Structure 1
């Protein structure tokens, strides 16, 4: 199983912001606590150990045992859960939406990155325990982002009129989705396993949170993954002090707004903007924002309203009804978990880097932030074809037009690259500019116009010749672009489009084993895996 790597910056699929973070640029250092390398984890452990409360550990373990009560749980996961009572146990966490049947491939890469990092930390710091955690985004309400997955170019979609926090959604109606998926699957051992997982997850469980927990446990329970649904009264109760501070003092708005100003001064794009109050109110299918006006707190689109005293009393009695938004969710995570590091995608990294000042205002340790592994999986047959066609890994990441032009130039028996001629022409006109200056400066404009005209003509001729060669070499170019399309569907990264079931159908249980072996969380490069 050959594995190759390419720098994230060279893929051109990741923002300069993220690449600058990976390069540890000085301009970004005030936005995070410690950069995720093995040596820095020692100080992170000590800081978290000194700030995390023991009663939070006991409550966390109690909730996890309750949530795992009806799951077939591996011994290593049970051990991990029990170990969380110890002051020497810490977590590494990733989070993800409750996408139908896991959604895009990177769901797997997030979790595998998390599992692999805990193993690496245990080797480096053997006196401590490290638990991989998948935080289910069960309070999310963006159903249209999660209600489908792609399978062999087709969208398998779940239509539902339900509203509110998606973790509460009934799985009723997913029998029809299962029938559609099954009809596309075909026969065979791997197909039957996929059908079994889908059926047992979404038809045998009553809500989306329980279904997702079951599926994630089936895929990664044997590796000790601990799956947490934070939408729980006892966990929200641990977060009451921070919720009170946010509701009364609006700390997130003040601090994140200030950080956003720093980011804008650096020319960086803001990922999320804070609101005055960064909580939703959830109850019986309702999930709407809490707002404050003239000392009255209310839930938009409803008649629910409180004075400040009434609001705080309601929070104490029903903390489960207060749902953090994207700004406050990270803080909630770090309050209830003995967490050292959060692993996420590029977009997540950017909004986490907006939040450090709010953590400081709330007196909560800011975690280390690690970009998840990204990967491209190609078959041996695809690898052989790429080699025969002399397509490098770097070539695959080019946009379609650049990819074709590069291939035409490479395989053509004539050189269709006029850059040398253009350079020569520019050199000649430089001499003509000097000549015009010495004789009559009024000719400078005419000389420049002639230079522009001739260079434009050369570039136009180059394009026409390239176009002619593309027609002549159409068959070979077609083979090249077909391969690129297979690996980059619709010009997108495979991991952002393809569902794991496509690869599992071919490789079965070996898929996760091979990816687990290939990914290296702290390497900092894009991974290319040949199976």
Structure 2
């Protein structure tokens, strides 16, 4: 098995930011590839820390293992820093990139500790306030027969959207657990992980608590700390930001609108579309989690259109803060206000929407962290590598399997068929042109009719050629099966592997060493590491 670092991709804004384009960098606090960017943020944090200390954050961080517990003590004792990342909880760990985010934070924190000579702790924020059950309730694996298997909990029991820390999994969890168990042949790791999953994803567990239990196990050998957005103590610590947002959400809307206009002036489309009158707060009431919109000095709920007074919202913040939550734009501000975040590790979408937030950070008195791209890896198993080598392919070649097979078929057409098609096409083109000229001498209006007939003939020949190619493809069953095997493992459903497959795909097959192997291959950016004032090339690690 090989773990191959991949470029992250993303919008033009994210790409320009990572490339160091000035048009993009002006919306961030500086390049994530320059040491001075982190030093400046650390100096800024020294002033903020004098006011707030560590008491609150220490109580809400759950170290994944003993290394995390020891590092947290050092951060508190020595005045260290936090690197954060996060993701909404998902079934069986969600997609691979959730794990890669955590590992990137581990890598970055270690690099920054060396740079700043202070302990730096990686934090994984479990976004359990999210209510998108349809996104969280499923994941995928590739079974022993190289079939993409969807594992799903089905629809939520509550018809109203609820934060993922609230609903329990129920007995419906048994079906995806059984499907997962049946997707892999028994080996030395099968029983271990099925036992772990049955303990974590028990009927009485929530999606958030189950995800936290699994991530703690996967990251137990790292110094990661886990934070649950639904933690009552954490929500109490969020009151100040929530209150400021409720009391003057128009000020937030103004700074967000100004930044969106500036982005558009630079040729960038804002990642998150803004809505007039919308606040950056959600409340979870009888009708489920709904966004608040301003109306007549109070608020109206976005979906049910029920009205909520300003006093009622402020009362919820004070006495029931767990029922209040930030939207996607306010969440990073809440996180930075609590943890005084040194750097945030994000995916391509997050890199883009952070460009909208500098004014919102300032409005709430929270400094903007350095925004760093998460690592992305492509897992190439030996069985897949053999297919690629046999056909002389790169991993990216098999993303569109049908296009690749069509190319193979055209290349493998019998010479006599290929020659006959080429000659026939040439004859239609040349003779059609000759006839058009001759007919035009009789009546100029005939030229168009001849050309139309010639083009119809070329189109019919093209259709015939495609039929012949399809026949060749059907006859190449072995090649088709091999390419399909490579595609489903590298590009399941034609999409990036780390956005689709669960980390259980490789844990069930290769065991608990997979996260450590992935950590060794994570680079920021791929293939580079700290060297003095920035990043420099580092030698290749051995592969798991």
TM-score tier after normalising by the smaller chain length: 0.7 to 0.9
Aligned residue in 2 for 1:156: 151
Instruction: Give SS of 1:27's match.
Output: helix
The answer to whether the Cα contact below 8 Å between 2:152 and 2:176 also exists between their aligned partners in 1 is no
Q: Give 1:45's aligned residue.
A: 42
Q: Is the 8 A contact 1:2 1:529 kept in 2?
A: no
In the TM superposition, 1:378-417 aligns within 5 A as 378-397=380-399, 399-408=400-409
Alpha carbons of 1:21 and 1:213: their partners in 2 closer, same or farther (altered >3 Å)? same
CA contact (8 A) 2:168 2:206 kept: yes
Q: Which whole-Å deviations, capped at 9, do the CAs of 1:86-118 have from their partners, x for residues lacking one?
A: 463111111111101112222221111111221
Corresponding residue number in structure 2 for 1:437: none
Aligned with 1:320 (options 322, 339, 342): 322
RMSD: 4.1
SS in 2 for 1:391: coil
The answer (yes or no) to whether the contact 2:520–2:541 under 8 Å persists in 1 is: no
CA distance in 2, matches of 1:20, 1:416: 45
Mind listing any 5+ residue stretches in structure 2 that lack a counterpart?
431-443, 529-539
1:503 aligns with 2:496: no
Tell me, yes or no, if the aligned pair for 2:232 and 2:322 is still in contact at 8 Å: yes
Query: Aligned partners of 2:59 and 2:484: how far apart in 1?
Result: 54
Instruction: Show CA shifts across 1:322-379 (max 9, x none).
Output: 2111121111111111312211222222222222222123232111222212222121
The 1-side partners of 2:461 and 2:24 are apart by 44
2:433 — aligned with what? none
Tell me if structure 1 keeps the 8 A contact 2:316–2:324.
no
* Cα gap change, 1:214 to 1:261, in 2 (>3 Å): same
Higher mean C-alpha displacement, 456-465 vs 143-152:
456-465
Structure 1 position 146 matched with structure 2 position 136: yes
Offset at 1:466?
5.2
CA distance in 1, matches of 2:472, 2:194: 48
Shift of 1:392: 1.8
Q: Describe the shift of the 1:110–1:307 C-alpha distance in structure 2 as closer, same or farther (beyond 3 A).
A: closer
Change (3 A) 1:230 1:54: farther
C-alpha deviation, 1:220, in angstroms: 0.3
1:26 aligns with 2:22: yes
* 1:234–1:343 distance in 2 versus 1, CA, 3 Å: same
Q: State the match for 1:244 in structure 2.
A: 243
1:63 maps to which residue? 60
Match of 1:435 in 2: none
Alpha carbons 2:128, 2:208 under 8 Å: kept = yes
- Work out whether 1:339 is the aligned partner of 2:341: yes
Residues 378 and 530 of structure 1 are in contact (CA less than 8 Å); yes or no, is this contact kept in structure 2? no
Secondary structure of the structure 2 residue equivalent to 1:31: coil
TM-score by length of 2: 0.79
- Secondary structure of the 2:283 match is strand
Deviation at 1:63, TM superposition (A): 2.8
Structure-2 separation of matches of 1:276 and 1:57 = 33
Give structure 1 stretches of 5+ with no counterpart.
Answer: 429-441
**Structure-2 separation of matches of 1:221 and 1:206:** 20
Shift of 1:75: 2.0
Tell me the equivalent position of 1:438.
Answer: none
